[in-house]
Amino acid sequence: MKKHFIYTSLALLLGCTAVAQDKNAIRFGETINKDSAYKHLSILASDEYEGRETGTKGGWMAADYIKNHFKKIGLKGPVKGDYFQPIDMVNVTLSQVLTLNGQPYEAIKDFYITGQSVSAKGFAFNCNSIIFAGYGLKKDGYNDFENINVAGKVVVIFKAGQP
């Protein structure tokens, strides 16, 4: 009987303990509601922000808007007190004509280049086969195109790394 009383008492005591709440999570969580979400999303999705693409004027405007809102609600910058972390960005541009071994090739007509995050939706590839050409390299005795005829085919290659 005594053991039964002890176990019952422990169960009741454990059931009555309060779980500590993160005060910041509660404070910020209370500021999120349908109206504020709609307000911020409407601003960020507006034409003024020009699509918000990374590295563009609209992208920087959106980043500044979010930074200013974080400051307003008291969030500190997580990167050495700042809200932005510098990273290297690569912007690859392609001329309309590519010349290989003296032979000119016209973009879209003769070739397409798409990245892993770019959709090829809307492109009509008129070919019967897709071939894989490794890294697309031909140098120093290494040739991904050896014994491959790429005419009229979709050629898939790795974009980075080492062979």
Confirm if 163 and 137 have CB atoms less than 8 A apart: yes
Residue 78's Cα: distance from chain center in Å? 19
Query: Cβ-count burial of 62 within 10 angstroms (0-12 exposed, 13-18 middle, 19+ buried)?
Result: buried
Average pLDDT along the chain: 77
More confident residue, 78 or 19: 78
Among 130, 156, 133, 161, residue whose Cα is nearest residue 145: 133
Q: pLDDT tens digit string along 88-98?
A: 776 666 666 67
- The three-state DSSP-derived secondary structure of 26-89 is HHHHCCCCHHHHHHHHHHHCCHHHCCCCCCCHHHHHHHHHHHHHHHHCCCCECECEECCCCCCC
Q: Give CA–CA dist 41/153, Å, rounded.
A: 43
Give long-range contacts, CB 8 A cutoff, 24+ apart: 82-90. 89/54, 89/55
Residue 138's pLDDT is what? 80
Q: Percent of the chain at pLDDT above 70? A: 68
- pLDDT class for 67, splitting at 50, 70, 90? very high
Please compute the mean of the pLDDT values over residues 110-133 and round it to a whole number: 66
Q: Give CA–CA dist 24/26, Å, rounded.
A: 5
